[in-house]
Amino acid sequence: MSKVRVLVGTRKGAFILTADGKREKWEVSGPLFAGWEMYHLKGSPADPNRIYASQTSGWFGQVIQRSNDGGKTWDAPGGGVTAVPGQMPKGESNKFVYDTSPSGKPLTTHQWYDGTQHPWEFKRVWHLEPSYTDPDMVYAGVEDAALFRSTDGAHSWQELPGLRGHGTGPKWQPGAGGMCLHTVILDKKDPKRIYIAISAAGAFRSDDGGKSWKPINQGLRSQYIPDPKAEIGHCVHHVAMNPSRPNVLFMQKHWDVMRSDDAGDNWKEISGNLPTDFGFVIDVHAHEPETIYVVPIKSDSEHYPPEGKLRVYRSRSGGNEWEALTKGLPQSNCYVNVLRDAMAVDSLDKCGIYFGTTGGQVYASADAGDSWAPIVRDLPAVLSVEVQTLP
Amino acid sequence: MIRVVLPQHLRTMAKVGYELELEVAPPVTQRSVLDALEARFPVLRGTIRDHVTQQRRPFLRFFACEEDWSLESPDAPLPEAVVSGKEPFYIIGAIAGG
């Protein structure tokens, strides 16, 4: 029987939640890396036992952890004890250094909040995206915004400098959460196509494996950007795609839920009858590519559900027409947030939907959202949720 | 042998106890102690000093013989009591965050 493994990153450690295909009885293990901020964990589609994790701390910086046994044991790649004292270490698993080579069109500054230019400073890894085909290849979206790639199982990392160097980089500026590259989407059908999104620069696409990039923000409207054709500057919160339809993208922007049917070249709004179109997460049903999910949040100044009711909204028509999913979710006095990487779908039939809250709950639905139940209720604030469907 | 005390999270990462011992060739300075520490425990690279600039992370402090050495030159000789192993070299996480 199939199994699911839910990987949960929180403010104070990581947790792994497992269940069989019925998704009724759950085992909870953790905390892993107790006390550390675990921004994101994600398993390799090519080898589900290979899991990468971003472990970060204001005190000790960034660490990348890796498991080869489905999360039972972990190591920082290259971080083992060397045999001879005094020998220089070989591993550089924690080292993210911005490219400064002439070929990379190096950038030294981006726009700061006050409009002045500010140096790029590495802070943390927000998102890890393993390759569909190679368990040793993994992408890292980082703050300050840049895309890194490892081809040796996270032993070492190299920036893909064409993104920061494509031309608009000096105009990028941080959102309230920092200038983070938080979304990385690979195209299963076309290994050379990569989508990324940055707060608050916008969405970008590469069609040549990350060498060159173009902004894909036409059709986005933001109140604070007077130019309706602005190439960059939009605060994209998250982008989702069903792998079977890689040209169709769904976006939760700061405000507005958006859709593109041409690989991001043009966007149109699909907020429709949502009670508010502010939010962070968005995801797509594993088998129904026109079925999408969001969690509306009251506003950019009040980061909790409207009316204190935690509601997932589902559209079965690709947007505009939305239904509230409430069965099993708190419908009073609920003031949690659901952060941008904290929703995931499994590929079982019926499709399972999972999301985590800043109140420490992880909710699961084994029936595509019709009903919900908490897997756990009292974790630290949840930063990310990913799920692996296992044979 | 130079005795070094790490903050809890770094002890967990390096898989060591409260205190560890390092062989450090003279001169014994903050830099030579940290170089030896990172060489023996590569997983600690970047967690105490920045990978590139080698500057101390802002929320970490260095103490020896009840004195704060954080702002001293990384190449200043550490006290004889640390060199002889009588006193440990402390790496401490700042109390911050409320």
Q: Write down the pLDDT at residue A84.
A: 43
Q: Write down the pLDDT at residue A92.
A: 60
Query: Does B8 reside within a domain?
Result: yes
Q: Over 70: is that where the pLDDT of A89 sits?
A: no
Residue with tokens 């949040």: A297
Please tell me which of the candidates A59, A82, A97 has its beta carbon nearest to residue B57.
Answer: A59
Distance (Å, rounded) from C-alpha A69 to C-alpha A45? 14
Task: Read off the pTM.
Answer: 0.94
Query: Does B59 reside within a domain?
Result: yes
Q: Which residues contact B77 (CB under 8 A, 6 or more apart)?
A: B27, B28, B29, B83
pLDDT digit string (tens) for B60-79? 999 999 999 999 999 999 99
Query: Does B67 reside within a domain?
Result: yes
Q: Write down the pLDDT at residue A232.
A: 94
**Owning domain of residue B17:** 2-93
Are residues B36 and B5 in contact, defined by beta-carbon separation less than 8 angstroms? no
B59·A58 Cβ contact <8 A: yes
- State mean pLDDT over A195-199: 97
Distance (Å, rounded) from C-alpha A370 to C-alpha A175? 34
Residues of A with CB under 8 A from a CB of B: 35-36, 57-63, 76, 78-82, 85-95, 97
B25·A86 Cβ contact <8 A: yes
pLDDT digit string (tens) for A221-235? 988 888 889 999 999
Q: Write down the pLDDT at residue A87.
A: 42
Q: Write down the pLDDT at residue A159.
A: 94
Supply the ipTM of this predicted assembly. Answer: 0.86
Structure tokens at B80: 């004889």
Structure tokens at A212: 């060159």
- State mean pLDDT over A56-79: 91
Q: pLDDT exceeding 90 applies to what percent of chain B?
A: 83
Query: Does B47 reside within a domain?
Result: yes
pLDDT digit string (tens) for A354-370? 999 999 999 999 999 99
Residue A278's closest CA among A337, A329, A224?
Answer: A337
Mean pLDDT lowest among A93-97, A151-155, A238-242, A245-249: A93-97
Q: pLDDT exceeding 90 applies to what percent of chain A?
A: 82
For β-strands A61-67 and A51-57, DSSP reports them as antiparallel
Confidence band, pLDDT 50/70/90 cuts, at residue A103: low
Confidence band, pLDDT 50/70/90 cuts, at residue A177: confident
Confidence band, pLDDT 50/70/90 cuts, at residue B87: very high
Which phi and psi angles does A26 have, rounded to 5°?
-120, 145
Best mutation target, A60, A97, A124, A158, to test chain B (most B CBs within 10 A): A60
- H/E element, A109: strand A109-111
Distance (Å, rounded) from C-alpha A294 to C-alpha A278? 10
Are residues A95 and A89 in contact, defined by beta-carbon separation less than 8 angstroms? no
Q: Over 70: is that where the pLDDT of B41 sits?
A: yes
Best mutation target, B43, B47, B61, to test chain A (most A CBs within 10 A): B43
Q: What are the chain B neighbours of A86 within 8 Å (beta carbons)?
A: 23, 25, 36, 39-40
Q: Over 60: is that where the pLDDT of A317 sits?
A: yes
How confident is the prediction for chain A on average, in pLDDT?
93
pLDDT digit string (tens) for B12-28? 999 999 999 999 999 99
3-state helix, strand, coil in chain B (%, to 5): 25, 25, 50
Distance (Å, rounded) from C-alpha A283 to C-alpha A228? 26
Q: Over 50: is that where the pLDDT of A90 sits?
A: no
Query: Does B72 reside within a domain?
Result: yes
Q: Write down the pLDDT at residue A101.
A: 74
- State mean pLDDT over A378-390: 98
Provide the domain count of chain B. Answer: 1
Query: Does B44 reside within a domain?
Result: yes
Q: Which CATH number is B29's domain given? A: 3.10.20.30
Q: What are the chain A neighbours of B94 within 8 Å (beta carbons)?
A: 59
Q: Write down the pLDDT at residue A303.
A: 96
A90·B42 Cβ contact <8 A: yes
Query: Does B88 reside within a domain?
Result: yes
Half-sphere exposure of A272 (CA within 13 A, CB side): 16
Q: Would you state the torsion angle of the CA atoms of residues B29, B35, B38, B39, taken in this order, to the nearest 10 degrees?
A: -130
Query: Does B98 reside within a domain?
Result: no
Q: Write down the pLDDT at residue A175.
A: 83
For β-strands A249-253 and A236-241, DSSP reports them as antiparallel
